Amino acid sequence: MKFDGFDSSRPLDLVLLGRAAIDLNPLDYYKTLAESTTYRKYLGGSPANIAVGLSRLQKKVGFIGKISDDRFGDFVEDTFRQEGVEISHLTRCKNGEKLGLTFTEILSEHESSILMYRHAIADLQLEAEDIDEAYIKSAKALLISGTSLAASPSREAALKAVMLAKKTQTPIIFDIDYRAYNWKNPDEIAVYYSLVAQESTVIIGSREEYDLTQRLLAPGLDDRETARFWCAKKAAIVVIKHGKQGSTAYTCQGDSFSIKPFPVKALKSFGGGDGYASAFLYGLFENWPLRDCLELGSASASMLVKSHGCSADMPSLETIRTFIAESKAEYGEDVCF
């Protein structure tokens, strides 16, 4: 099965809307955050990571977001420019709001946690007036990252982007992206996530994120019922991730393709989702069979969990293909199926 719903005449492949932040990952890992003393700074924020990942896969990517008007905002701009991400719609806060900081705790290869500093946060200051119809229309698809819906004015900006995407026949990709910070209550999560999910052509999320989204409209669905539910709205593809148990993509024709992770010695348990999303979406833009999109996504995800960073360790297509070939040589052709 292939997805060929993108308008190839549009100059950008994907515009992503959401947070750009900073990851601070400990160099002295396998300790608690209280014990770690030394950190490496990376561009962070799930949509920013995905933007870098797709750009490194040679896709043309733009970003709609709000950043702090300080040196950390400069760092985000400089990094996006170095990575070839189009940032004409990445704007600065005017009232001193700060860039999000994510301190990660890497306790073991299987146990990590993230501590997010998101008070008076810059990315949630994105405003409806920052959203431009022509910019959205210049892209084959718009990706909405769920955390952008957590508070106003970013919430209204994201919903305006969804409206304009519908108006301009721009497919919406919804990366549910649940982070507990900034959300007030489960009802708000369900209301705003389902508002976007029901307009989306492609939905990507973990089982927990779908449960949060469906909590009011359709609680208690299993994976196949979940896929059927969103395909009955506008979804063509529903991807449900289950961490190191792997993931499954469901289509509106009733097909499904499951994939396991590629075997790796993980360094951390996070970062896989953004590597997965960027490589999976690359395959979709290349009009690959869904099975091949999943394989590339799963391979990239595995490469990310064995890396120290996220955005900085997003792989090129060549390195992912080499990783897949080496994995198949060592574990067999069907290593991840």
Binding site for ligand ATP (CB under 6 A): 206, 241-244, 246-247, 261, 264, 266, 269-274, 276, 298, 301-302, 305
By CB under 6 A, is residue 87 in contact with ligand LN3RO5KU? no
Contact present, 227 and 239 (Cβ < 8 Å): no
Closest distance between ligand ATP and the C-beta of residue 208, in Å? 8
Q: Which of 65, 205, 271, 315 binds ligand LN3RO5KU (CB under 6 A)?
A: 271
171 vs 261, beta carbon nearer ligand ATP:
261
- Amino acid identity, position 145: S
Contact present, 255 and 1 (Cβ < 8 Å): yes
Return the H-helix or E-strand segment holding 112: strand 112-117
Residue 247 interacting partner from ligand ATP, ligand LN3RO5KU, none (CB closer than 5 to 8 Å by kind): ligand ATP
Which 3 state secondary structure label does DSSP give 237?
strand
Pair of tokens at residue 299: 């391979």
CA distance 209 to 298: 19
By CB under 6 A, is residue 62 in contact with ligand LN3RO5KU? no
Beta partners for residue 26, in sequence order: 39
Q: Which of 13, 23, 105, 209 binds ligand LN3RO5KU (CB under 6 A)?
A: 23
Measured CA distances, 97 to 21, 41, 70, 244, 296 (Å): 12, 19, 9, 36, 37
Query: If you write DSSP's letter for every residue of 180-214 in order, what string do you get?
Result: STT---HHHHHHHHHHHHTT-SEEEEEHHHHHHHH
Closest distance between ligand LN3RO5KU and the C-beta of residue 118, in Å? 9
250 vs 276, beta carbon nearer ligand LN3RO5KU:
276
Residues 150-179 touching ligand LN3RO5KU, rule: CB under 6 A, are none
Query: Angle formed by the axes of helices 290-305 and 317-331, to 10°?
Result: 90
Residues 94-123 touching ligand LN3RO5KU, rule: CB under 6 A, are 102, 114
By CB under 6 A, is residue 273 in contact with ligand LN3RO5KU? yes
- φ, ψ for residue 113 (rounded to 5)? -145, 165
Contact present, 316 and 84 (Cβ < 8 Å): no
CA distance 171 to 7: 9
Closest residue to ligand LN3RO5KU using C-beta atoms: 44
Asked if omega into 261 is within 30° of 0 (cis), the reply is no
Residue 267 interacting partner from ligand LN3RO5KU, ligand ATP, none (CB closer than 5 to 8 Å by kind): none
- Amino acid identity, position 56: R
CA distance 237 to 327: 27
Closest residue to ligand ATP using C-beta atoms: 273
By CB under 6 A, is residue 75 in contact with ligand LN3RO5KU? no
Distance, CA of 283 to chain centre = 15
By CB under 6 A, is residue 275 in contact with ligand LN3RO5KU? no
Closest distance between ligand LN3RO5KU and the C-beta of residue 319, in Å? 19
By CB under 6 A, is residue 72 in contact with ligand LN3RO5KU? no
Contact present, 208 and 161 (Cβ < 8 Å): no
Residue 189 interacting partner from ligand LN3RO5KU, ligand ATP, none (CB closer than 5 to 8 Å by kind): none
Closest distance between ligand ATP and the C-beta of residue 178, in Å? 9
Closest distance between ligand ATP and the C-beta of residue 336, in Å? 8
73 vs 271, beta carbon nearer ligand ATP:
271
Residues forming the site for ligand LN3RO5KU (CB under 6 A): 21, 23, 44-46, 49, 102, 114, 270-271, 273-274, 310
